[in-house]
Structure 1
Amino acid sequence: MPVLNGKELRIVGFLCNWCSYGGADTAGVARAGQPTDLRIIRVPCSGRIDPLFIVKALLNGADGVLVSGCHPRDCHYAAGNFYARRRLEVLKQFLPVLGIDDQRFEYTWVSASEGQRWQQVVTVFTDRIHKLGPAPRLEDSEPLLKIADMALTSLRPLGTGQHVALDRLKEAIKARLPELDCVIGWQQGYDGAHTVPLFMRTPEDVDKLVWGPFNVNNPAVYLPSFKGRKVGIVVKGCDSRSVVELLQENLIRREDVTIFALPCEGTLDMARVNQELGRYSRIDNVAYDEAGVTVTADGKEHRFCMTDFAQGKCYGCAMPLATVADTRIGEPVRVAPGAVTPPELALLDSMSLEERMAFWRGQMERCLRCYACRNACPMCVCRDFCVAESRDPHWMSQDDSTREKLFFQTVHALHLAGRCTGCGECQRACPVGIPILALRQQIARAVGQLFDDYKAGLDPAAVPPLLGYELEEKNIHERDWK
């Protein structure tokens, strides 16, 4: 019989088969009174619980989700709950950015002999959910469209990078070119205000290499397709982090990759540049100075100052020059101490939970589900077997709903937990300009706060936090249910 009064709510429980499910059974055998709101799903181990289970349940109408497993050091599979603890704590800090109250999700440990503890845990959690009330539904939110304020102070001077020693870089590439299959860089695109990837195989190709604020693409996305072949790559600081992360995960081999690096002074937000340019038939001229770019389109001049039109990631970039490189030309740029909250994430921080859910409702209504964000991501290397398109298991439908679209973005963000290098390619590639990078930035912030300010893509020998564990976690504290 229910312990709590009032209408039952929908609470999902994921319980470890060996301990917590046994604890719930012990409570039942002892006829301990429990709320009837909970619907139990038995799993082999808490380590088997993908954070996506919890997100899917919450997005599909659950009012609360409870995860319970063996106590640390008592796992039937030795370390499953240690891995689970890290993943679930990151998820708990991630949920609010979606507009979901983190109090609606909890995890704990209950052994098979702790029937009384199980009764206490489920009663306290159910009481909490009843106080919160039924969970708000994404579909019921009134769409909210807001734009991030890009007026930020940069940690380093932003410029056009026209004074870098590009000729020296070209000479270095030509010297190494005979021993490489190709070198990946940038060349001018269909006009002077856009660039496209360049695959240099001859000295004539090297002469096409360009450098500047229009070099927005991350060439590291192509490296996994060259695995096993000798290849060179020209990188900005943020691009080099993606290269390092690929090395960490053994998706490429260090001996196969030759890295060329120049100091970056920032890149332009092409979505805002194109919006300012509007429709035009031709680019007449592109003129650079130290502070910005002047683009003349159809006879009309458009001025783009780097401090006003840089990508959001550039304001807080503390790594303008690659730390891992074979050929490094130029001196590191001075970076001021401190941190800058990215503008898209700062926008979400300023909102209430209800506003965030309404914000994502409005953004996901614009989503085309074209998967450009996934295809542009250098860390999404399993796109041929993407869970978003899999029918076994059938994680997602082809339903054109805001809920399915937001779930896809959540899948992408959680798969990059502890791996995202913040290159921003996902957001840059979005044809409708959805600020999806904020989801990855929130994950990165949570990982940094929990695991000694860890940042992906800095150390090739480092182990990503969610691929390891410690017996005693410094910043993860067990919860008291008394």
Structure 2
Amino acid sequence: MPVLEGKELRIVGFLCNWCSYGGADTAGVARAGQPTDLRVIRVPCTGRVDPLFIVKALLEGADGVLVSGCHPRDCHYAVGNFYARRRLEVVREFLPVLGIDQRRFAYTWVSASEGQRWQEVVQKFTAEIHALGPAPRLEDAKPLLRLADMALSSLHPLGTGQKAPLDELKAAIRAKLPELECVIGWQQGYDAAHVVPLFMKTPEDVDKLVWGPFNVNNPAVYLPQFKGKKVGVVVKGCDSRSIAELLQEQLISREDVTIFSIPCEGVLDMARVNTELGRYTKIDGVSMDEAGVTITADGREHRFCMTECAQGKCYGCTTPGAVIADQRFGAPVEVTPGAHTPPELAMLDAMSLEERMGFWKAQMERCLRCYACRNACPMCVCRDHCISDSREPHWMSQADSARDKLFFQAIHALHLAGRCTGCGECQRACPVGIPILALRQQIARAVGNLFDGYKAGIDPAAVPPLLTYAVDETHIHEREWK
């Protein structure tokens, strides 16, 4: 391939200082012809390449990104590229959900003595980028607003929890309360159709505890704040997964937390409920049966069936019972085995790359940048040092652009790789209803596909896949050109 043909494109290369940078230097000394599109950034090790480097480069206008380092088993730092291999494969699977062609990113291994191989690698990758042409820009995408189809069948029966043994639960909490700082649960909010967190410290507080389809909040988000204190928490199945993940990461201590559990039959999508209710003066009453909820507002009745109005996460829930608990109440719920794609993710799967980019542009233009998604996430525990607020390093600006907002969502999603338990608090807390859970679900799907079906928050003793490595990966082929 000639050194330069036609229009030069923008390709960013992250090269390991000890191997691939040396290989590029060897090719240069040998006067091996190389395309001039590549802009090289030297890094100490591919293990130092944060997946956010790739996403930021592609969102900021790069037409392609290449990462190259030492061959596995030949790393200057022993295992840096083993960790990198897992991270890079996950980010490669994540890019399409943003509307970015994954062929615009590649990673490979070139040693310092392989000048000829480096020449072949960079020429081949550059040729592929030229064949793809200039990368589409988020700013130029045509906005697309589309709603997910929620008409899905669930893996277990959905209901309102009318037969839940709430009195037994309250009695157990009262008995345990003297030993605890507090017990976290739910209570009625500003009206009978909304529920807020409850911190029970006295027997009178326990009387306020409620259970049902309005218990949408995840109480696990508060546990890190009580680290070192004895606390109790009432959980749904998805909430317990968050606790298991917090235990995995040693963000809480098992001996400090008492877990009370009742099997969950699903919770309502409160965004849809509030939309249906519209503007009202007061809630006149709420009645429930096993199939759904009837809310009377300003004299008008509104019916919400659980099979139609549950949160999207409930349809594919495989853990209606807690994965970890000290005291369990109620009969277990049977789950039907089978694959299930969340509705928002299924909607994105059906789109082209251009449509996905337009979809996220339209959604991010609606974003208020209030960070409610971050604050509600039980696994987002570094909010006092959040990358979105940091100026050292200066990852993000405060510009009110769709690109900056989408990059923040990519940061949040990638920081949850192998950690997100799918509780849906990020999407539930969003005041404008952006389906950002789909980004986390795509990451979870990629992690599951790459690492033998791994799911976060199932086994407190497990090691998250991105915090470890395997010399011989089952689903990652180290010498295959990506």
TM-score by length of 2: 0.99
- 3-state DSSP class of the match of 1:72? coil
Residue in structure 2 matched with residue 435 of structure 1 by the alignment: 435
Q: Deviations over 1:384-426 (max 9, x none)?
A: 0000010111110001100000000000000000000000000
* 2:304 partner SS: strand
Give the conservation status (yes or no) of the 8 Å contact 1:4–1:127: no
CA distance in structure 2 between the partners assigned to 1:165 and 1:430 by the alignment? 32
Report 1:327-406 matches (<5 A). Answer: 327-406=327-406
Conservation of the 8 A alpha-carbon contact between 2:418 and 2:464: yes
Counterpart Cα distance in 1 of 2:2 and 2:259: 64
Match of 2:233? 233
Deviation at 1:480, TM superposition (A): 3.8
State the one-letter code of the partner of 1:285: G
Is the counterpart of residue 423 in structure 1 residue 438 in structure 2? no
CA contact (8 A) 1:124 1:481 kept: no
Per the alignment, in what secondary structure is the counterpart of residue 433 of structure 1? Answer: coil
Deviation at 1:481, TM superposition (A): 4.9
Provide the secondary structure at the position in 1 that maps to 2:157.
coil
- How far 1:331 moved relative to its partner? 1.7
Partner amino acid, structure 2, of 1:3: V
For the residues of structure 1 that align with 2:192 and 2:340, how far apart are their CA atoms? 31
Does the aligned pair in 1 maintain the 2:217–2:425 contact within 8 Å? yes
- Report deviation, 1:141: 0.5
> Cα offset for 1:330?
1.2
CA distance in 2, matches of 1:333, 1:156: 7
Q: Deviations over 1:335-392 (max 9, x none)?
A: 1010210000001000000000000000000000000000000000000000001011
Name the counterpart of 1:117: 117
In the alignment, the residues of structure 1 paired with residue 468 and residue 44 of structure 2 have an alpha-carbon distance, to the nearest angstrom, of: 20
Distance in 2 (alpha carbons) for counterparts of 1:73 and 1:222:
42
- Which residue of structure 1 lines up, in the alignment, with residue 255 of structure 2? 255
Question: How much has 1:479 moved relative to structure 2?
Answer: 4.2
Distance (Å, rounded) in 2 between the aligned partners of 1:349 and 1:170? 44
SS in 1 for 2:152: coil
Number of matched residues? Answer: 482
Residues 107, 481 of structure 2: 8 Å contact kept: no
Give the letter aligned to residue 364 of structure 2: M
In the TM superposition, what is the alpha-carbon distance from 1:222 to its structure 2 partner? 0.2
Structural mapping, 1:89-168, within 5 Å: 89-168=89-168
Alignment-derived partner of residue 183 in structure 1: 183
Which residues in structure 2 correspond to 1:287-306 (within 5 Å)?
287-306=287-306
Find the counterpart in structure 2 of residue 50 from structure 1.
50
Say whether the 8 Å CA contact 2:185–2:219 is kept in structure 1: yes
* Counterpart residue type for residue 327 of structure 1: Q
Name the CA distance, whole Å, in 2 between partners of 1:411 and 1:126.
27
SS of match in other structure, 1:302:
strand
Corresponding residue of 1:458 = 458
* Structure 1 partner of 2:223: 223
Distance 1:461 1:78 in 2: 26
Aligned to 1:24: 24
Q: 2:206, 2:37 → 1: CA distance?
A: 66
SS in structure 1 of the partner of residue 27 of structure 2: helix
Instruction: Please say if residues 27 and 116 of structure 1, whose CA atoms lie closer than 8 Å, have aligned partners that are also in contact.
Output: yes
SS of aligned partner of 1:320: coil
Query: Which amino acid in structure 2 is aligned with residue 68 of structure 1?
Result: S
Task: Give the residue type in structure 1 aligned to 2:301.
Answer: E
AA in 1 matched with 2:359: F
Work out the CA distance in 2 between the residues paired with 1:333 and 1:249: 28
Q: Which amino acid aligns with 1:245?
A: E
Using the alignment, how far apart are the partners of 1:250 and 1:324 within structure 2? 15
The answer (yes or no) to whether the contact 2:318–2:335 under 8 Å persists in 1 is: yes
Q: Work out whether residues 72 and 478 of structure 2, in 8 Å CA contact, stay in contact via their aligned partners in 1.
A: no
CA distance in 1: counterparts of 2:61 and 2:31, whole angstroms:
30
Distance in 2 (alpha carbons) for counterparts of 1:118 and 1:402: 37
Kept in 2: contact 1:16–1:42 (CA 8 A) = yes
Q: 2 CA distance for matches of 1:402 and 1:159?
A: 38
Residue segments in structure 2 that go unaligned for 5+ positions in a row: none
1:5 CA drift (Å) = 1.6
Tell me, what secondary structure is at the counterpart of 2:463?
coil
Partner of 1:39: 39
- 1:476 corresponds in structure 2 to 476
Residue type at the aligned position of 2:236: K
> How far is the alpha carbon of 1:323 from its aligned partner?
2.1
SS of structure 1 residue aligned to 2:13: strand
User: Does the Cα contact within 8 Å between 2:19 and 2:112 map onto a contact in 1?
Assistant: yes
Q: How far apart, CA to CA, are the structure 1 residues paired with 2:70 and 2:332? A: 49
Instruction: Report the alpha carbon displacement of residue 477 of structure 1 after superposing the two structures with TM.
Output: 1.1
| Counterpart-to-counterpart distance in 2, 1:173 and 1:318 | 27
Checking the alignment, whether the CA contact within 8 Å between 2:15 and 2:21 is kept in structure 1 is yes
User: Per-residue CA shift, 1:419-477, capped at 9, x if unaligned?
Assistant: 00000000000000000000000000000000010000011110000000000000001
Aligned to 1:242: 242
Distance 1:389 1:9, change over 3 A: same
Query: How much does 1:478 deviate?
Result: 2.5
Spell out, residue by residue over 1:101-146, the C-alpha distance to the aligned partner (whole angstroms, 9 max, x if none).
Answer: 0000000000000000000000000000000000000000111000
Give the partner amino acid of 1:294. Answer: T
Shift of the alpha carbon at 1:2?
4.7
Displacement of 1:3 in angstroms is 2.9
Contact between 1:373 and 1:425, CA under 8 Å: does it hold in 2?
yes
Q: How far is the alpha carbon of 1:185 from its aligned partner?
A: 0.1
Q: Give the 3-state SS of the residue equivalent to 2:314 in structure 1.
A: helix
Say which SS state the counterpart of residue 246 (structure 1) adopts: helix
| CA distances 1:176-225 after superposition (whole Å, capped 9, x unpaired) | 00000000000000000000000000010001000000000000000000
Given that 1:160 and 1:265 are in contact with CA atoms closer than 8 Å, whether structure 2 keeps it comes out as: yes
Q: Distance in 1 between matches of 2:395 and 2:481?
A: 33
Does structure 2 retain, via aligned residues, the 8 Å contact 1:236–1:261?
A: yes
Structure 2 CA distance, aligned partners of 1:479 and 1:152? 41
Structure 2 distance, partners of 1:123, 1:26, is: 15
Partner residue of 1:62?
A: 62
In 2, are the aligned partners of 1:2 and 1:36 still within 8 Å (CA)?
no
Would you identify which runs of 4 or more consecutive aligned residues in structure 1 move more than 2 Å?
1-4, 478-482
Report if aligned partners of 2:109, 2:479 keep a CA contact under 8 Å in 1.
no
Amino acid at match of 1:46: T
Question: Could you state the TM-score of these two structures normalised by the residue count of structure 1?
Answer: 0.99
- Output the amino acid matched with 1:276: E
Counterpart Cα distance in 1 of 2:82 and 2:479: 15
From the superposition, tell whether residues 433 and 177 of structure 1 become closer, same or farther in structure 2 (CA, over 3 Å).
Answer: same
Counterpart Cα distance in 1 of 2:93 and 2:3: 30
Q: Aligned AA for 2:209?
A: L
